[in-house]
Structure 1
Amino acid sequence: MDGNCTNPRKFSYQVLARATNTFSEKGKLGEGATGSVFKGTLKELSCVVAVKRVVFGSKYGIESYLPEVKILTKLRHENLVGLIGWSCNKKELLIAYEYVGNKTLEYHLFKETDFLTWGQRKTIARGLASALLYLHEERDEQSILHCDIKLDNILLDSNFNPKLGDFGLARPVEYEEESGYPTVLTGAPGYLAPECKKSGKATKQSDIYSFGVVVLQMACGKHAVENLQRNGVKFELKLVDWVWMKIATGENISAVADPRLGLSYDESEMEQLIDVGLSCANPNPDDRPSTMELIKMLKY
């Protein structure tokens, strides 16, 4: 990230709109749970940015989105997408992020012709664990729950280091008690911890569960949920359940490892990564490892 872009600041609406060529469809990078994202250039700072545009609706006003800005202004970690600045009026909120140009982990696992190497996958897993440790344990202020860890929200830089982004659903651990707004989860299918379907609330353990699904995806090269059909009956199969079934039936590691890797991985390391994923995705939240334990488990 350009040195001029390291200190978050408030911009005028016109500056960020102009940076994106008035939210040109040609520069649209994607659409997330809380808004559309556009590539732009802040010429006065010589800085390329990704600008998220959130238009307020009748159901959710500015108070629903300000936590994201408040959280991001205080976050500094090499494995988190950095905040450049923001602009807000009564109708919409614009958030300018550091632009990370090597696309998402989703893209590189499933859409890129060149697959991620085993070394790159290990680096990504460690980087994400480091980001999670920072959010959950290492900040002097409140611990932060990301609440939406998934492949689409993990960007890769030119060296394939991960940067966790899209904090639109993120909340401080104490958010519900302090604000009166419930921390209700709307996580992507396959990533949401089973206990959250009952409580509707985020915890550190639910973030760990989502991390575990991502780890299993990198190990196995499969989607979090697959739509299948058997004997004319359509059904969904979660990756976590598929891996558990394979392991329970005595299949060896090669049966669950991403076939695109061929033999270019260390079998003991693959076994350990899958063990990390399954430990994180344990159906009992109390049996999942802490973020500090994750760091130790990934030091292979």
Structure 2
Amino acid sequence: MDESCIDLQKFSYEKLVCATNNFSEKDKLGEGATGSVFKGFLKELNCFVAVKRVVVGSKYGIESYLPEVKILTKLQHKNLVNLIGWCGKIKKELLIVYELVENKTLEYHLFNEIGFLDLGLRKRIALDLASALLYLHEECEQSVLHCDIKLDNVLLETNFNAKLCDFGLARPAERGQESGYPTVLSGAPGYLAPECEKSRKATKESDIYSFGVVLLQMACGRRAVERIQENGMKFEIKLVDWVWEKLRVSGENISAVADPRLRLSCDEKDMERLIVVGLACANPNPNNRPCIREVINMLKC
């Protein structure tokens, strides 16, 4: 892929080093599947930014990482993080500059004791994320598979509007594609659709599965994979399996799986809807999962 085809502001390496205080650890915002992210300040734009730093190793050339930049230059949606610019092929690094979304990740707000998201906010975030997926899957010029939907790839603005980020594993997909797109299976445990473990291909349906896990996490307040100790034995269980097992034992009592912090204050029908839609998206059979447009309709019912 020719770098010249990327019509986007290109920054000098020195300018981004200066903006991030030489990629200071104290300014590190997080680490994703394809690189670390640092907070920076660009004087020429008079704004704070997030700079993703990808070190290009000997095994993978810059060609392996430029797709994230190329994809994002063609995407524009209120629920996707905005791309500002980039710097490539300097000291074997690719630097990608994004808008800074100040209010941390959905993972932080679900599991940090300082804050609390009520069910109304969680539903709104779910719809924001669904809107981003609808755009990627059906509305943009060329359909895109995100391939890494998870809590810490959902950024929240100060008003708690949600933005999907980290397109390091994203790939274009033709509309109506059935065979899927080969992908690197390096996503977080618990989010990967079961068929991907065998096919090693990403599809719209596998994105839907990951989205379903996120919905269940918002409803249940639990990790995608939980470490459980019972009868002196320690083991791991996926959230999807835990929810099905709890509902089976309790006779479909939604309160058995709802986030304990929400049980006394939330509308039971709204909670039930979030769990039912989450389970539908995380159906083990990809052919039985709803498309994202159907998901949105179900969430709005």
TM-score of the superposed pair, with normalisation by structure 2: 0.92
Letter paired with 1:185: L
In structure 1, what is the Cα distance between the partners aligned to 2:8 and 2:61? 23
- Residue 269 of structure 1: CA displacement? 1.1
In structure 2, what is the Cα distance between the partners aligned to 1:265 and 1:49? 36
> Are residue 270 (structure 1) and residue 271 (structure 2) matched?
yes
What stretches of structure 1 move > 6 A for 4+ residues in a row? Answer: none
Correspondence list, 1:123-272, <5 A: 123-140=124-141, 142-174=142-174, 182-249=182-249, 250-272=251-273
In structure 2, what is the Cα distance between the partners aligned to 1:246 and 1:270? 15
> Over the residues paired in the alignment, what is the CA RMSD in angstroms?
1.7
> Are residue 107 (structure 1) and residue 111 (structure 2) matched?
no
- Residue 16 of structure 1: CA displacement? 1.6
- Residue 8 of structure 1: CA displacement? 4.3
Which residue of structure 1 aligns with residue 294 of structure 2? 293
The answer (yes or no) to whether the contact 2:125–2:162 under 8 Å persists in 1 is: yes
Which residue of structure 1 aligns with residue 73 of structure 2? 73
SS in 1 for 2:261: helix
Structure 1 residues 161 and 112: alpha-carbon distance in aligned structure 2, compared to 1, 3 A threshold = farther
The answer (yes or no) to whether the contact 1:228–1:234 under 8 Å persists in 2 is: yes
Letter paired with 1:256: V
Deviates more, 1:110-119 or 1:237-246: 110-119
In structure 1, what is the Cα distance between the partners aligned to 2:114 and 2:263? 15
Structure 1 residues 215 and 30: alpha-carbon distance in aligned structure 2, compared to 1, 3 A threshold = same
In structure 2, what is the Cα distance between the partners aligned to 1:117 and 1:171? 34
In structure 1, what is the Cα distance between the partners aligned to 2:113 and 2:95? 30
Q: Give unmatched runs, 5+ long, in structure 1.
A: 1-6
In structure 2, what is the Cα distance between the partners aligned to 1:131 and 1:100? 16
The answer (yes or no) to whether the contact 1:184–1:202 under 8 Å persists in 2 is: no
The answer (yes or no) to whether the contact 2:190–2:239 under 8 Å persists in 1 is: yes
Which residue of structure 1 aligns with residue 3 of structure 2? none
Which residue of structure 2 aligns with residue 49 of structure 1? 49
Structure 1 residues 212 and 182: alpha-carbon distance in aligned structure 2, compared to 1, 3 A threshold = closer
Deviates more, 1:239-248 or 1:276-285: 239-248
In structure 2, what is the Cα distance between the partners aligned to 1:118 and 1:228? 26
Q: Give unmatched runs, 5+ long, in structure 2.
A: 1-6
TM-score of the superposed pair, with normalisation by structure 1: 0.93
